[in-house]
């Protein structure tokens, strides 16, 4: 029986959670869920100059917004804690001491001048091996101990076994990747200030946490042979690696700030739904069956597999994300849209104090007309804000005035519309009745339908692009519709 899956997402809090990191997190989470495994969140904060607590908090918030719940990690704890590398210094020290005692690591006293001179000499003699020249590798143990104890500065280096040979990784995405033995360096595992290097701390943690699969960006592929050396020195089993491809912008270049928003919270603030965002990112390098694009979270969490990760770089296309978001919005029922989208957006935009006070029937009608017209949450207020204004506070946009009102004959159109609408009983004020009442007007006035409805729309909505007129007017209410028409008449010719 194979060991239960344990995976980790290990962001460095040197910045926000970006699209690439979010996708790595999603893949780890989905892989854990699909295999009934454990998803661990670990904060790789060993770079004290660039890691901040604020960034850690931003990352945790982003993870929560994405809905990627972790089974072990900050705030939830777990049997392998602590889950921040700065709190695990003792473990790295113990591991380093053990390797030293076992002769699998050794102190190196070379000064940076010495190292530089060796590097230069290796280059000049065109030595195929340009790494550390192993000067301190054969210092007798007693002598090395004495120098360490005397306070001479040193780093700890791993001792790559003489006969190690090439390192071959069976990567779940890239297949077999071979790293030439000649390139294996006795690299530094503990710096002179006692702090562990990334390749060492990561492996000590991954081994201690029983990580079975390391799923991460392929910018880390080149670190992998070094990490394999550490696993072997520690006598720990090497996990399965899955290095996922880069994400490119639509111009084929590596995704960066130039392509617009890159951090998760920018997308949250721009009005994307977490489900849609997760769905979209999950497809950047993975597919369910090569064609399905709408993949609900539970399907992702049950069907995700490493086999279907692609080697090729993925393209982040904001237009496709918009499309996906609109699909998710449209798939909501009116009640769900009212509750999850309308209410918070109307409150956020200051259009209503408390959306709970709006009658349910109105919210459902509003949901019905707004839902198909927005791609992002932030667009809600723009589409229906005018409904919540009054005849006094409504703003008329220039185009609406020019095209819909300030034209010869429009004053009489408004008069006719007003009279027709006024004749409707207040009880009868609903979309169907309003539409039916306005319907014969163009013929009666001998004008084009478009001209008449444009004038009424401009008068009542203050713009020319609002949702269907009957429903919009039903929501505005009879008295205010008439008052709006009165106000618009002052602008009509």
Q: Least distance from C-beta 391 to ligand GLU, angstroms?
A: 56
| Angstrom distance (rounded) from CA 208 to CA 390 | 64
Q: Least distance from C-beta 268 to ligand GLU, angstroms?
A: 21
73 binds ligand GLU (CB under 6 A): no
What crossing angle do the helices spanning 410-422 and 431-438 adopt, rounded to 10°?
130
Residue from 5, 6, 7, 12 touching ligand GLU (CB under 6 A): that is 12
Q: Of 10 and 414, which CB lies nearer to ligand GLU in the complex structure?
A: 10
Q: Out of 120, 182, 257, 319, which one is annotated catalytic?
A: 257
| Angstrom distance (rounded) from CA 81 to CA 42 | 9
Q: Least distance from C-beta 210 to ligand GLU, angstroms?
A: 15
Residue from 202, 212, 325, 420 touching ligand GLU (CB under 6 A): that is 202
* Window contacting ligand GLU (CB under 6 A); options: 5-13, 180-188, 251-259, 358-366: 5-13
Residue from 30, 44, 51, 232 touching ligand GLU (CB under 6 A): that is 44
Nearest to 28 by CA among 240, 238, 177: 240
What crossing angle do the helices spanning 19-34 and 274-282 adopt, rounded to 10°?
90
Residue from 220, 254, 389, 489 touching ligand GLU (CB under 6 A): that is 220
Residues in contact with ligand GLU, counted by CB under 6 A, come to a total of: 7
Nearest to 234 by CA among 129, 100, 362, 132: 100
Q: Of 40 and 386, which CB lies nearer to ligand GLU in the complex structure?
A: 40
C-beta of residue 329 within 8 angstroms of C-beta of residue 374: yes
Q: Of 214 and 481, which CB lies nearer to ligand GLU in the complex structure?
A: 214
The string over 378-392, giving b where at least 16 C-beta atoms fall within 10 Å of a residue's C-beta and e elsewhere, is ebbbebbbbbbbebe
Q: Of 184 and 230, which CB lies nearer to ligand GLU in the complex structure?
A: 230
Residue of closest CB approach to ligand GLU: 44
Q: Least distance from C-beta 199 to ligand GLU, angstroms?
A: 9
DSSP 188-223: EEE-TTSPBPHHHHHHHHHHHTT--EEEEEGGGGGG
Dihedrals φ, ψ of 423, to 5°? -70, -15
Find the distance separating the first CA and the last CA of the chain, reported in whole Å: 83
Residue from 159, 216, 375, 457 touching ligand GLU (CB under 6 A): that is 216
CB atoms within 10 A of CB 492: 22
268 binds ligand GLU (CB under 6 A): no
Q: Least distance from C-beta 216 to ligand GLU, angstroms?
A: 4
Token output for 432: 């169907």
Token output for 472: 């919009």
At 168 the three-state DSSP class reads: strand
10 binds ligand GLU (CB under 6 A): yes
Q: Of 10 and 377, which CB lies nearer to ligand GLU in the complex structure?
A: 10
Residue from 11, 37, 239, 467 touching ligand GLU (CB under 6 A): that is 11
Would residue 253 show up in a list of annotated catalytic residues for this protein?
Answer: no
Q: Least distance from C-beta 215 to ligand GLU, angstroms?
A: 8
E-only strand ranges, 208-332: 213-217, 240-244, 247-248, 314-315
Q: Least distance from C-beta 24 to ligand GLU, angstroms?
A: 7
Nearest to 314 by CA among 257, 254, 267: 254
Q: Least distance from C-beta 321 to ligand GLU, angstroms?
A: 23
Q: Of 10 and 475, which CB lies nearer to ligand GLU in the complex structure?
A: 10
Q: Of 147 and 220, which CB lies nearer to ligand GLU in the complex structure?
A: 220
Check the CA dihedral 52-58-62-63 and report its sign: positive
Interface with ligand GLU in residues 372-431 (CB under 6 A): none
Residues in contact with ligand GLU by CB under 6 A are 10-12, 44, 202, 216, 220
Catalytic residues: 257
């Amino acid at each position: 029986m194979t060991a239960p899956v344990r995976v980790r997402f290990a962001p460095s809090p040197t910045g926000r959670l970006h699209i690439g990191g979010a996708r790595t997190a999603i893949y780890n989470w989905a892989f854990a869920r699909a295999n009934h495994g454990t998803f661990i969140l670990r904060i790789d904060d060993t770079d004290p100059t660039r890691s901040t607590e604020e960034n850690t908090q931003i990352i945790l918030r982003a993870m929560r917004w994405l809905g990627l719940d972790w089974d072990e990690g900050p705030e939830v704890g777990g049997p392998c804690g602590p889950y921040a590398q700065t709190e695990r210094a003792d473990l790295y020290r113990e591991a380093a001491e053990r390797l030293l005692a076992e002769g699998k690591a050794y102190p190196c006293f070379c000064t940076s001048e010495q190292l530089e001179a060796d590097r230069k000499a290796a280059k000049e003699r065109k030595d195929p091996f340009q790494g550390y020249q192993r000067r301190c590798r054969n210092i007798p143990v007693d002598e090395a101990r004495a120098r360490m104890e005397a306070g001479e500065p040193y780093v700890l280096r791993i001792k790559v076994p003489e006969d190690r040979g090439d390192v071959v990784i069976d990567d779940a995405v890239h297949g077999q990747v071979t790293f030439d033995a000649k390139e294996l360096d006795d690299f530094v595992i503990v710096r002179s200030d006692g702090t562990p290097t990334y390749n060492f701390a990561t492996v000590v943690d991954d081994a201690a946490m029983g990580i079975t699969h390391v799923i991460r960006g392929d910018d880390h592929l080149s670190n992998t042979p070094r990490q394999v050396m550490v696993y072997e020195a520690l006598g720990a089993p090497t996990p399965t690696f899955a290095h996922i491809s880069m994400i490119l912008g639509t111009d084929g270049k590596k995704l960066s700030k130039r392509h617009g928003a890159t951090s998760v919270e920018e997308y949250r603030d721009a009005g994307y739904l977490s489900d849609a965002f997760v769905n979209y990112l999950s497809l950047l390098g993975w597919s369910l069956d090569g064609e399905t694009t709408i993949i609900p979270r539970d399907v992702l969490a049950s069907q995700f597999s490493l086999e279907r990760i692609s080697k090729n770089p993925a393209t982040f296309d904001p237009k496709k994300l918009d499309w996906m978001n609109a699909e998710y919005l449209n798939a909501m029922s009116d009640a769900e849209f009212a509750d999850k989208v309308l209410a918070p957006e109307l409150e956020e935009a200051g259009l209503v104090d408390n959306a709970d006070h709006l009658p349910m029937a109105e919210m459902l009608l509003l949901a019905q007309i707004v839902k198909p017209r927005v791609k992002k949450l932030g667009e809600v207020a723009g589409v229906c804000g005018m409904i919540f204004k009054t005849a006094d506070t409504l703003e008329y946009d220039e185009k609406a005035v020019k095209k819909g009102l300030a034209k010869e004959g429009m004053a009489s159109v408004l008069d006719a519309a007003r009279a027709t609408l006024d004749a409707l009983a207040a009880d009868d004020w609903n979309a169907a009745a309003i539409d039916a009442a306005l319907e014969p007007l163009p013929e009666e006035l001998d004008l084009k339908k478009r001209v008449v409805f444009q004038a009424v729309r401009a008068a009542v909505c203050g713009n020319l692009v609002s949702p269907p007129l009957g429903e919009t007017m039903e929501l505005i209410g009879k008295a205010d519709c008439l008052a709006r028409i009165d106000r618009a008449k002052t602008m009509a010719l």
